[in-house]
Amino acid sequence: MNRLVKAIEEVRGRLEALRRRSLKETPTRTIVIEPLLEALGWDVRDPDEVQLEYTTVDGKSVDYALQLNSKPVLLVEAKPLEDPLSDVKAITQVVGYAVSGGIVWCILTNGIRWKVYRSVEKCPAPDKLMFEVSLDPKDSEGLTVAQVAEQMWRFSRDEMAKGTLDALGEQTFTDGKVRKALDGIMRDAPRRLLNIVRSAIGETGLSPQKIKESLARVSRETGRGISFAPAEAAAAGDGVPRETGARSERAKKAWRTRRARKHESPYDEAHHISGKPQEVLELYRALDRLCLSLKPGAIGKRFLASYVSYEVAGRSFCSVHLQQGAIRVWLHLKYNRIESPPSFARDVSNIGHWGTGDLELGISNLSQIEEAANLVRMSLDARM
C-alpha cells in the first residue's frame, strides 16, 4: 500500500506537466498506467501475470489482462491522458470483451481516472460501473491520498486473489437490486404483503386498502424525505395567520402555498444520482437512511444544485455532495471541539465549501458511514 501511495503522489506532482504534453495512449501507458499497476502488485514484465495486447474471443485485443494462476481476472483498456472516458461505445466495448471472455471485472482508464465495471450485471454497460477512482485532487477533493489508494487497492493483485472485489461487487449490486424491488413492492403492495403487515400490526380492522396506501406513503417518505419539516410550519412565530373563520382558513392556505413555493427547487434526486457509480449510490442511500431515521417524520430533504440538504425545523444539519468516487458530507459541528475526529474528517471553517457547517467528511466506504453516525446525530442535536 505504501508503494501505491507514493506512486499516486508522484503522478499528482507531475499531473499538470503531463497534461501540457497531451499524452497519447502509448506514453500514457508507459509513464502513468504501468507504474501504477506495478505499485498494485501486478508485474507488467511477467506474461504469466500480465498479458499485454490480450486477444479476446472475437479476435480483438485489450491493452492488459491481469491474471491469477495464468487465468485473466481483470481486463484493463487504456486511453490517452485527456480522454474523458465517457464514450459509450468504448465502455460497451471493454465490458463486452470481459463478458465474452467470462471475465467479471474490467477497467477503462486514462491513467488518472480508473472506472471499474462488473461485466456480469444484466443492465446496459454504463450502468455496470461499480466504482471510480480519480488521482486528480480536483476530482477527489475531501479525500486523503491514503483513501484514494485504499480504493485502488481493491484491484491490487493481493486483493483480487482474496476475492475482496468480488465480495464487494456482489453485495453492492445486490443491495441496489433489492432496494429497487422493495420500493416497487411497497408502492404497489400485493395482497399477501398486506395480510402479513396487518397480522404483524395485530389490528384486523385495518382494511388492506388503508395498509396499501400507508405503505406507499412510507416508501415515498423514505425515498425522498419531505420538502420541509412539519414542525417548522407549526412552530410559534412562524408567520401563520392566527385569525379564525373562513377568511382565516383562506389566508392560512395561501400562506402555506407561498411557504411551499419558497422551498421549491428546480432540482431533484435524479439530478444528483445520474451517472454515479453503484458504490457511490449505496453510500448516499446509507447516509440518507441514517439522516431520515434520526427523527422520523420531522427531517426535511432539499435538493439544491450541488448538494442535498437534510433539515430539521428548516435548519440544515447535514449536507452531501455526490462525487464519482465518494461522497462529501458537511455537518454543523466545530472540528476542534470533537474528541478524536475520524481520519476522513477535516476542518473547513476557513475553506470555501458547499453545504452548512465547519466539519467535512470525505466518505469512500460504508464502514465510514457507521463511524460518522454519531457525528451526524451530534449535528442534528446542535440544530434543534
d(Cα 206, Cα 32) in Å, to the nearest integer?
A: 64
For 229-358, strand residue ranges (E) read: 299-303, 308-312, 315-322, 327-331, 345-347
Does residue 315 come out as left (phi exceeding 0), alpha (psi in the -120 to 50 range) or beta?
Answer: beta
* 364: enclosing H helix or E strand: none
Rg (the chain; Cα; Å) = 25
The answer to whether the CB of 304 falls within 8 A of the CB of 112 is no
Strand partners, 133: 114
Where do the structural domains in the chain lie, given as residue ranges? Answer: 2-162, 171-224, 263-383
pLDDT value at 316 more than 60:
yes
Tens digits of per-residue pLDDT, 133-185? Answer: 999 999 999 999 999 999 999 999 999 999 999 999 999 999 999 988 888 88
Q: Which residue would you say has higher pLDDT here, 231 or 215?
A: 215
* 234: enclosing H helix or E strand: helix 230-234
Q: Are strands 61-68 and 50-55 parallel, antiparallel or unpaired?
A: antiparallel
Range 106-126 average pLDDT:
97
Say which CATH architecture domain 263-383 belongs to.
Answer: Alpha-Beta Complex (3.90)
What pLDDT does 255 receive?
46
d(Cα 360, Cα 307) in Å, to the nearest integer?
A: 13
Q: Which residue would you say has higher pLDDT here, 222 or 100?
A: 100
Burial of 267: CB neighbours in 10 Å, binned 0-12, 13-18, 19+: middle
- Beta-carbon contacts of 335 under 8 Å, excluding residues fewer than 6 positions away, are 341, 345, 346, 347, 349, 358, 359
d(Cα 20, Cα 24) in Å, to the nearest integer?
A: 12
What average pLDDT does the structure give for the chain? 88
158: its cell numbers: 493481493
Q: Which residue would you say has higher pLDDT here, 225 or 58?
A: 58
Q: How many CB atoms lie within 10 A of CB 128?
A: 25
Range 184-211 average pLDDT:
87
pLDDT value at 224 more than 60:
no
What pLDDT does 250 receive?
61
The answer to whether the CB of 48 falls within 8 A of the CB of 66 is no
Q: Specify the amino acid at residue 61.
A: S
d(Cα 294, Cα 327) in Å, to the nearest integer?
A: 20
Q: How many CB atoms lie within 10 A of CB 305?
A: 10
What pLDDT does 179 receive?
86
Q: Specify the amino acid at residue 380.
A: L
d(Cα 27, Cα 123) in Å, to the nearest integer?
A: 34
What pLDDT does 263 receive?
53
Does residue 370 come out as left (phi exceeding 0), alpha (psi in the -120 to 50 range) or beta?
Answer: alpha
DSSP state of 226: B
What pLDDT does 43 receive?
98
pLDDT tier for residue 202 given thresholds of 50, 70 and 90 = confident
d(Cα 300, Cα 294) in Å, to the nearest integer?
A: 11
pLDDT value at 216 more than 70:
yes
d(Cα 219, Cα 303) in Å, to the nearest integer?
A: 18
Fold of 2-162: tt1808, chain A (3.90.1570)
Cell numbers 487504456 label which residue? 78
Q: Which residue would you say has higher pLDDT here, 213 or 291?
A: 291
88: its cell numbers: 459509450
Tens digits of per-residue pLDDT, 239-290? Answer: 344 344 455 556 555 544 544 455 566 889 999 999 999 999 999 999 999 9
pLDDT tier for residue 205 given thresholds of 50, 70 and 90 = confident
d(Cα 51, Cα 47) in Å, to the nearest integer?
A: 5
Which of 135, 187, 183 has the alpha carbon at shortest distance from 7? Answer: 135
d(Cα 112, Cα 117) in Å, to the nearest integer?
A: 16
Range 323-352 average pLDDT:
94
d(Cα 112, Cα 19) in Å, to the nearest integer?
A: 11
What pLDDT does 240 receive?
40
What pLDDT does 227 receive?
41
Tens digits of per-residue pLDDT, 276-302? Answer: 999 999 999 999 999 999 998 899 999
